[in-house]
Amino acid sequence: IHKIGVLTSGGDSPGMNAVIRGVTRYALYKGIAVEGILRGYEGLLREESIPLDRRSVGEIIHRGGTMLKTARSEEFKQVSAQHRGIQYLRSKGVDGLVVIGGDGSMKGAECLGKLGMPTITIPGTIDNDMAGTEYTIGFDTAVNTVLDAVNRIRDTAFSHDRVAIVEVMGRQAGFIALHAGIACGAEIVLVPEKNITLPEIKKRLVASHQQGKTSSIIIVAEGAMTGEEVYQYIKENTANMNPSLTVLGYIQRGGAPTARDVMMASVFSEKAIDSLIHGVENAIIGLVHCEVVATPYEAAQQYKFAINNDMYNLVHALGQ
């Protein structure tokens, strides 16, 4: 490997910049040149790229978002477009590509690998729901952002004897809701992986209020149901439970990355470059049973981690 390309793709996540820095500086440290491709696969097809040196990735380690910008590209799903992308990379002397993104971005990287361009994917998404890893860059920051927001909402909920409903991100997976729910001491957490009906939510709220609670927090992952549904149901079906609704939205995707995200970004970056150097390619870098490993794309589905059942039970045991 003489020169790598690096790009960020799909939704941005805090810590992507730390990965760009880690990948660039570790590659240069190993004598490999780096080309930064702008705007993901979209930019690859538009032939937008810049050479990266040590200084060009300075002062970004603590910034949310991605200095390379990110995008989605429907066109890139066609094989002819993928061939064009590879041609452009070759014209720049790139002989290996590091892709930072979610499941879709990994699929794109796998396609490029099959057509002869070696790729490595580093998991970057706040949702923590990628095959091949227990951890994705951005997750810890998102959980801490939710925790911070809920702590503020909690002050008001307590003062006004309210049931605070907080909708968080997580279409397919409830990792953010569950981890933030434990961390903030929520009474009820709704995740896409588990079914709780609205009458059951009411029953639990009534039970905890009978034990002397006057305010409660319910965290709803958007993929379970909408916060609005929970809000309306409680409003219409309880006499004195005064619900409030907060939809956190995009604040969860931004912000300075936490120590854990920057640490993992740096460690994953080192593993990505070392893998390419040692001829391990077309693989996802991830944490599997607490070890940093490179798993071939075809095998990644074997390491599809789900939310922890014990943790799900614990949040409700502690929250009553």
> Contact residues for ligand ATP (CB under 6 A)?
9-11, 41, 72-73, 76-77, 101-105, 107-108, 111, 125, 127
Q: Which is nearer to ligand ATP, 88 or 233 (CB)?
A: 88
Q: Which is nearer to ligand ATP, 18 or 205 (CB)?
A: 18
- Note whether 19 and 124 are within 8 A (CB): yes
Q: Which is nearer to ligand ATP, 101 or 174 (CB)?
A: 101
> What backbone torsions phi and psi does residue 116 show, to the nearest 5 degrees?
110, 0
Amino acid at residue number 131: A
Q: Report CA Rg, the chain.
A: 22
CB of 261 to ligand ATP, least distance (A): 15
> What backbone torsions phi and psi does residue 237 show, to the nearest 5 degrees?
-115, 5
Return the residue matching tokens 């780096």. 34
Q: Which is nearer to ligand ATP, 124 or 243 (CB)?
A: 124
127 is catalytic: yes
CB of 11 to ligand ATP, least distance (A): 3
Select from 134, 80, 139, 82 the least CA-distant residue to 107.
82
Name the residue whose CB lies closest to ligand ATP: 104
Q: Which residues contact 122 (CB under 8 A, 6 or more apart)?
A: 19, 23, 98, 99, 100, 137, 265, 268, 269, 272, 284, 285
- Note whether 164 and 274 are within 8 A (CB): no
Q: Which is nearer to ligand ATP, 53 or 298 (CB)?
A: 298
Q: For residues 174 and 223, what is the distance between their CA atoms, to the nearest angstrom?
A: 8
CB of 9 to ligand ATP, least distance (A): 5
Q: Within its chain, how far is the Cα of 320 from the centroid?
A: 29
Q: Which residues are annotated as a binding site?
A: 11, 21-25, 72-73, 102-105, 125-127, 154, 162, 169-171, 185-187, 213-215, 222, 250-253
- The DSSP letter of residue 15 is T
CB of 125 to ligand ATP, least distance (A): 4
Of 12, 95, 127, 161, which residue is the catalytic one?
Answer: 127
Angstrom distances, CA of residue 20 to CA of 57, 130, 273, 302: 7, 19, 12, 28
Q: Within its chain, how far is the Cα of 201 from the centroid?
A: 28
Q: Which residues are annotated as a binding site for ATP?
A: 11, 72-73, 102-105
Q: Which residues are annotated as a binding site for Mg(2+)?
A: 103
CB of 50 to ligand ATP, least distance (A): 20
Q: Which of the residues are catalytic?
A: 127
